[in-house]
Structure 1
């Protein structure tokens, strides 16, 4: 009985962590939630952001930021492709201020410095974990 009492909370917390979606199950962010960096320009690079699947924050959109400007509103299991100027970019996530529900009232700011080269792409993923909340990380192949 003690073992069950010790393991059950750990399983509940693990269930709140996100997991990377299979590539064939990832959907594109709908056009109405794409706010910037959609048109390729000469010399641009590509930043691709995937949001994991999972229960934590599952009913909320997260704002994807490039150089601290909102570029898209992303939901679970979605992907956004952003055409950004080459150079060092600050790519981050934040609260979706367009959401007037409880989801838009919290605090969230995670950022990552990303070097974008002309014609190349950087892949990132948004994860959610029970202990640390949301984060943005470089995607591992």
Structure 2
């Protein structure tokens, strides 16, 4: 019984961490939730953001920010692509302010400075972990 009481909380915490979705199970963010950076511009690069699968925050959208502007509202197991001008872009995640549930009442801001070259494509993951919450991380090529 003591073993069960010791292991159960660890399993519960591990169950809250996210994991990458298989490529065949990733869906595109619907057009009504893609809010900016969808048109190709001269000397642009592409940023691809995928949100992991997992229970933590599973019922909530996360705002994807490009240069601190909301570019998409992304759900679990979804992918969004953004056409951004070359140069250093600020890619981040934040609270979806369009959400009027408890999900939209918290605080979340994670940002990365991303150097973008013309024609370059870079991939990022939105992860959620029980200990540290949400984060956005580059995916190694």
TM-score (norm 2): 0.97
SS class of match (1:3): helix
| Alignment correspondent of 2:18 | 18
SS at match of 2:32: helix
Matches of 2:4 and 2:85, distance apart in 1: 53
Name 1:63's counterpart in structure 2.
63
Matched position secondary structure for 1:13: helix
Equivalent in the alignment of 1:99:
99
Is 1:52 equivalent to 2:38 in the alignment?
no
Tell me the matched-pair count: 141
**Unaligned runs of at least 5 residues, structure 2:** none
| Alpha-carbon distance in 2 for matches of 1:69, 1:38 | 13
Cα RMSD after superposing both structures: 0.8
Unaligned 5+ segments in structure 1 are none
Aligned partners of 2:97 and 2:110: how far apart in 1? 15
How far 1:43 moved relative to its partner? 0.7
Match of 1:108? Answer: 108
> TM-score, with normalisation over the residues of structure 1?
0.97
